[in-house]
Structure 1
Amino acid sequence: MPKLEPFRGDYYLWEYVPSIAASIIFMFLFLALTVFHSWKAWKTGARFCIPFCIGGFFEIIGYITRASCTYRTARLMPYVIQSVFILLGPVLFAASVYMVLARLIRSVGGEKYSIIRITLVTKTFVAGDIISFLVQGSGAGMMAMDGMANAAKAIVITGLMVQIIVFGVFIVTSVVFEKRMRRAPTNGSYADSAAAAEWKKHLYPLYAVSALIMVRSIFRVAEYAMGQKGYLLSHEWPMYVFDAVLMVGVMGIWAVWHPGTIRQEGSADMNTEQLLSMGGGYQSKA
């Protein structure tokens, strides 16, 4: 029978016994979606989706480890592993999301409508994502050190805030691009053409996954800010509702509207090597 046990003295890692059933359910959901995305990335040659697939594997590892914690609530390492992998999975999802915008803009020749120079779009946002990943990862890793819990939480919150700020700028960039495109469609996309329908088909799912990741990041900031005894960390359901469910939604949305089908049309001076360096490299197999 699982029970809550102290890690050391009267200090508890958990405020509740984690549900093994919920962990297993989400482990299988992420497993199915990750297998599908890995197959889809291979089929379409969408190498920019590799971080997205790795993020799915992070979620799988996180929830497998979390399931084992049900009977090991006093063990530090399983607690840290599940925390780190579940925390960092969405950061890798975001990396692929950032790469899609530049591809989408190029697909309709809309480089002039980007508020950030097109050659810097992917580099700028992915750089911010890497910083967020490193900061959150270092903070989560420090949870295993004695007396570092408060400092670790502060570092994780800082990493999450970096992610939120970067995502905010990313969403503004996307919205401005859409408004400018609607006002004056480029030669590569006319209002009544199939091309117009194509870029819009991918832009709205991009908004959706961005919103879900943003909500999840805000939840995580609130969770860590409230502390170990706060409601969000002392109850299990918020983590599943505002993290697990939202991330399954992110993978589900892109399973239906997979970005690997976006046709890549660079400017005349944009060569293959430049595209690869920007996280592109997809060439249609059609």
Structure 2
Amino acid sequence: MPATTYHGPINPHPGNGEASIIIFGYVPSLGLAIAGIVLWALVIAAQTWFTIVQKGYRTFHLLLLIGSLMELGGYASRAYAHFHPFLISTFISQYFLIVVAPVLFSAATYLSLTYVINAFPGSDSLLVVSRKVVLGFFVTVDVVCTVIQVLGSALIGTSESAAAQGNSSAVTPTQANDILLAGLAVQTFSFLCFLTVLSVASYRANNSKFTLTSGSLAERKRLRLFLWVIVFAADLILLRTTYRLAETAQGFFGTAATSEVLYGCLESLPIILALMTWSFLPPSKLAKPRREEKQEVQTGSTEEKKRGGRFERGESSAV
């Protein structure tokens, strides 16, 4: 990791639990923190509602809900840090929560692609690998990344806390940062692989030769929209993950880490836009479960039989 130097304010007389420097590298903006709290509260309200009423998509919305609660906690910590910028615990809490939360959003994104296959019979031909491989492989990698990032974030917190107080720790901040960097690197590579699978599926769905089992044009349009929503949300998550990767690679007091403008544009904005997208266009609006489609088909068949029966009785009466 490149060497970096702290250029921020100095705390000449650190109090209990305080550092002599601001580990953020700047005093966190109260405006950005409040905006984050308000926006994430809205997302939490939406995802709570969807988790309750959307039975077929509860796992998806529960992942988004838990991640959103973590984001809310992170921005609440940043708001508190605005008034107590030297306090070590506020940095540790917001860093851990905001860094780890998007891992849950990634898992939900992987899951959303399986909803496409379940909702649109015949769409499994769009994937270059089976849906079991998509869900199994990428979720497994996501779990591994979660463990690595949780470990790295926790070690960063403890090592930075020890360093700020002049104490030694088993792992240095640089070593802890490298652990987090490894987790972010694996997650970024995995997500790029997923986006490749997703892009191929989207390309095939737009091919004129592709048809769904039902042959419905309306269903095909819904399928394309569903895929585009996943692509849009996934690209936003990738943008944020790439920023975090660059920030971690530079080090705590590098340009990426000490610019709150970059933080707001490349961390806060992409993730909240991705979650707002899923709040306005949840999977339930983009696809129907097969069970409902079968019920519609059965209803249509029953009506046809009734009409046929009336027609036959009419013919018999006429004779």
Alpha-carbon distance between aligned partners in 1 of 2:186 and 2:289, rounded to the nearest angstrom: 29
- What is the SS of the residue equivalent to 1:103? helix
Q: What does residue 175 of structure 1 align with?
A: 199
Among 121, 127, 130, the residue aligned to 2:143: 130
Whether 1:23 aligns to 2:33 is yes
Output the CA distance in 2 between the equivalents of 1:170 and 1:264. 23
Any conservation in 1 of the 2:64–2:108 contact (CA below 8 Å)? yes
Indicate the SS of the match to 1:28. helix
Tell me how far 1:177 sits from its aligned partner. 1.8
**Is residue 187 from structure 1 mapped to residue 199 from structure 2 by the alignment?**
no
* Counterparts in 2 of 1:113 and 1:9: CA distance versus 1, 3 Å: closer
Whether contact under 8 Å (2:211, 2:220) holds in the other structure is: no
Aligned length: 263
Deviation at residue 241 of structure 1 after TM alignment: 1.0
1:50-109 CA distances to partner (integer Å, 9 max, x unpaired)?
111111101000000111112222222211110010111111111111001011023222
Matches within 5 A, 1:1-286: 5=11, 10-45=20-55, 46-47=57-58, 48-108=60-120, 109-143=122-156, 144-145=158-159, 146=162, 147=169, 148-183=172-207, 184-188=209-213, 190=215, 193-261=217-285, 262-265=287-290
Give the counterpart letter for 2:269 in structure 1.
V
What is the CA–CA distance in structure 2 between the aligned matches of 1:123 and 1:155, rounded to whole Å?
Answer: 24
Kindly indicate whether the alpha-carbon contact (under 8 Å) linking 2:19 and 2:87 is maintained by their aligned counterparts in 1.
no
* % identical equivalent positions: 23
Deviation at 1:161, TM superposition (A): 1.1
Note the alpha carbon deviations across 1:170-219, whole angstroms, 9 max, x for none.
Answer: 111112222333333233364x6111111112111111110000011111
- Residue identity opposite 1:204 in structure 2: W
Query: Structure 1 residues 205 and 189, CA, compared in 2 at 3 Å: closer, same or farther?
Result: farther
Distance (whole Å) between structure 1 residues aligned to residue 11 and residue 43 of structure 2: 34
Give 5+ residue unaligned stretches, structure 1: 267-286
Q: Could you list the runs of 5+ residues in structure 2 that have no partner in the other structure?
A: 1-8, 163-168, 292-319
CA RMSD between the two structures: 2.0
- Distance in 2 of aligned mates of 1:248 and 1:111: 30
Distance 1:137 1:125 in 2: 18
* Mean CA deviation greater in 211-220 or 40-49: 40-49
Please give the alpha-carbon distance, in whole angstroms, between the structure 2 residues aligned to 1:165 and 1:220: 13
Structure 1 contact 107–265 (Cα < 8 Å) conserved: yes
Counterparts in 2 of 1:189 and 1:94: CA distance versus 1, 3 Å = farther
CA–CA separation in structure 2 for the residues paired with 1:212 and 1:19: 23
Secondary structure at the aligned position of 2:288 is classed as coil
Moved more, 111-120 or 20-29: 111-120
Hey, what's the Cα distance between the residues in 1 that align with 2:256 and 2:135? Answer: 34
Q: Specify whether residues 87 and 65 from structure 1 end up closer, same or farther in structure 2 by C-alpha distance, changes over 3 A only.
A: same
1:4 Cα deviation from its structure 2 partner: 5.8
Q: RCO (CA 8 Å, sep 6+): is it higher in 1 or 2?
A: 1
* Matched residue type, 1:141: A
CA separation of 1:235/1:195 partners in 2, compared to 1, >3 Å: closer, same or farther? same
Query: Could you tell me how far apart the structure 1 residues matched to 2:20 and 2:50 are?
Result: 49
